[in-house]
Amino acid sequence: MGSRGPLPKPGSSESERGRNTANRRTKIDPEATLPKCPGDLPDDAAKRFWKQHAKSLFEKGWLTPQDVPAFVRLCHTWSQLCELDQKLKDEGLTTVSSTGVCRAHPAASLRVSTEKQFLALSVQFGMSPTSRQRVPPAENVEPVRMRRQRDLETKYL
């Protein structure tokens, strides 16, 4: 049986080399203020989405002035989803052509593609369960190494 290479050296794991997520946390600028809701949001659904999520994302350090255009796009996409949901609710999921063929409503496929776009954008802002695990919140202080934090948690259990 062949060898797979040398044994790893102590302290060579990802966390020991400082490549874990705790060391990648961004610092919050203490003078930064919450970006204002832009006036070009299309309707009430987009504005409600902004007001509902912008403050918490800003407090976590995930919404900065540089991120506003992407977050506006996310609000636009949410607004489109709301419109498509209402259209499908009013008109139904299927349509009947003039020849009598029953087909899926065109808005249904448009909604699927819009939802994919919304989910992809929401991951960038840590708005899905898995993305919240990968993107650590910003901190004002130096991060504690995960190994030390884990040791403290197990010591007092």
pLDDT tens, N- to C-terminus, the chain (157 residues): 566 777 666 655 554 555 545 445 555 566 678 888 888 887 899 999 999 999 988 888 888 888 899 999 999 999 999 999 999 999 998 888 888 899 999 999 999 999 999 999 998 888 887 777 776 666 544 444 445 555 556 555 5
- The per-residue pLDDT for 143 is 45
Note whether residue 142 is domain-resident.
Answer: no
154 lies in some domain: no
**Domain extent at residue 122:** 92-130
Instruction: Flag whether 150 is in a domain.
Output: no
Q: How far apart are CA 60 and CA 84, in angstroms?
A: 31
pTM: 0.66
Q: Does residue 25 fall inside a structural domain?
A: no
Phi and psi at 95, nearest 5°, equal -130, 155
Domain count, the chain: 1
Q: Is residue 103 part of a domain?
A: yes
**42 touches 76 (CB < 8 A):** yes
Quick check: is 147 in a domain? no
Show the CA angle centred on residue 62, arms to residues 61 and 64, nearest 5°: 80
Confirm whether 149 is domain-assigned.
no
Distance of alpha carbon 55 from alpha carbon 62, whole angstroms: 10
Is residue 67, in this structure, part of any structural domain at all? no
Beta strands in the chain (DSSP E): 94-96, 102-104
Q: What is the pLDDT of residue 15?
A: 47
